[in-house]
Amino acid sequence: MSDLFSALKDNLTKGKKKKIVFPEATDERILLAAGRLANESLVTPVLIGKRNEVVELAKELNADISECEIIDPADYVKWDEMVESFVERRNGRVERKKAEHVLIDANYFGTMLVHMNEADGLVSGAAHSTSDTVRPALQIIKTKEGVRKTSGVFVMVRNDEKYMFADCAINIAPTSEDLAEIAIESARTAKLFNVDPRVAMLSFSTKGSAKSEETERVIEAVKYAKEREPELIIDGEFQFDAAFVPSVAAKKAPNSTIKGDATVFVFPSLEAGNIGYKITERLGGFEAVGPILQGLNKPVNDLSRGCSEEDVYKLALITAAQS
């Protein structure tokens, strides 16, 4: 396991164990990872599902879940309190009968556990779409004060190298204000992983080498980010090589605070970000850790439906660290 996760594990063993909700308890990848997390005393997994089904599957998989909590929404002791809390959180847009129907959904139920401080974070997505995971989070957990939208960042890891790529998961066509927000939140996430944030706002142009509506949007984003966070080291617009290679930076952007030493890369669109991280992963030999959702009041993270047990394990560690 990389130094990134070794450090996370060391930190988690020093404090109070975090409770992480897994709404997909009858997925074998989830159960195997949950048993491992519990037995290593890193987190307390909270498994959502029918107890007999969860226990039976664990036996089939030879997964030790004795240190996990199992909660069945059908007989949850705080059900009435949860329903009332959900109705209140939705500001009257949902009546009680509708709320009871909605909360049978494991993702909504699990997200409410986090909202009610019965758990510290949630990991889902092994058997659900991104929207199934993110929608309850946006409706219940909601974004932090001053943050308009959540975004998805990947930690790209190769040996001792660590870089942040955003947004690679959520916002299809971010505005200048969105990009500024993504940059600021990604810088904060970088610190969680002991990455010194030096933010490069990417484009197909470097410092005016091309002019278009797209490049102007990135330039405006830099301006907005600096206004909100004057101490943040951020610049753009950059082509990737000018942000990453010192010799190229010296030629293309000699007066920039980024000298080819960026550690946080903000892509101008989801299309670019998704393509960029996958190329880095597949051709560059980097491990892509994430997506890590940022900007929420409490941590909720989304797995890929093609995830492995190891992916579940690692994202749970990240979620616990975020909390």
Residue 103 belongs to a domain with what CATH number? 3.40.50.10950
In the predicted model, what is the mean pLDDT of residues 292-298?
92
Q: Can you tell me the distance from the alpha carbon of 4 to that of 162, in angstroms, rounded to the nearest whole number?
A: 8
What is the structure's pLDDT at 160? 87
Which CATH number do you get for residue 171? Answer: 3.40.50.10750
Helix axes of 309-322 and 3-12: crossing angle, nearest 10 degrees = 50
Q: Per-residue pLDDT for 9 more than 80? A: no
Q: Per-residue pLDDT for 111 more than 70? A: yes
In the predicted model, what is the mean pLDDT of residues 289-310?
89
What is the structure's pLDDT at 31? 94
Place of tokens 């491992």: 36
35/118 same-domain check: yes
Residue 18's nearest CA partner among 313, 316, 292, 320 is 320
Residue-by-residue DSSP string for 256-309: -S--S---EEE-SSHHHHHHHHHHHHHTT--EEEEEEEESBSS-EEE--TT--H
In the predicted model, what is the mean pLDDT of residues 131-143?
91
105/228 same-domain check: no
What is the structure's pLDDT at 286? 93
Q: Can you tell me the distance from the alpha carbon of 322 to that of 298, in angstroms, rounded to the nearest whole number?
A: 8
Structural domain of 209: 151-288
Q: Can you tell me the distance from the alpha carbon of 61 to that of 47, in angstroms, rounded to the nearest whole number?
A: 15
**Top-confidence range, 91-105, 134-148, 226-240, 302-316:** 226-240
In the predicted model, what is the mean pLDDT of residues 189-215?
93
199/279 same-domain check: yes
205/272 same-domain check: yes
Q: Which helix (H) or strand (E) holds 278?
A: helix 270-282
129/156 same-domain check: no
248/304 same-domain check: no
Instruction: Count structural domains, the chain.
Output: 2
305/258 same-domain check: no
Amino acid identity at 315:
L
Other Cβ atoms less than 10 A from the Cβ of 51: the count is 14
**Top-confidence range, 7-11, 169-173, 217-221, 311-315:** 217-221
169/266 same-domain check: yes
92/45 same-domain check: yes
Task: Share the mean pLDDT of the chain.
Answer: 91
Residue 35: pLDDT band with limits 50, 70, 90: very high
In the predicted model, what is the mean pLDDT of residues 22-44?
92
Segment among 94-98, 112-116, 260-264, 297-301 with least mean pLDDT: 94-98
Q: Can you tell me the distance from the alpha carbon of 48 to that of 127, in angstroms, rounded to the nearest whole number?
A: 13
49/104 same-domain check: yes
What is the structure's pLDDT at 305? 81
What is the structure's pLDDT at 2? 62
Residue 229: pLDDT band with limits 50, 70, 90: very high
108/125 same-domain check: yes
58/159 same-domain check: no
Q: Among residues of the chain, what percentage have pLDDT more than 90?
A: 73
Q: Can you tell me the distance from the alpha carbon of 68 to that of 309, in angstroms, rounded to the nearest whole number?
A: 16
**Top-confidence range, 9-13, 30-34, 144-148:** 30-34
What is the structure's pLDDT at 1? 52
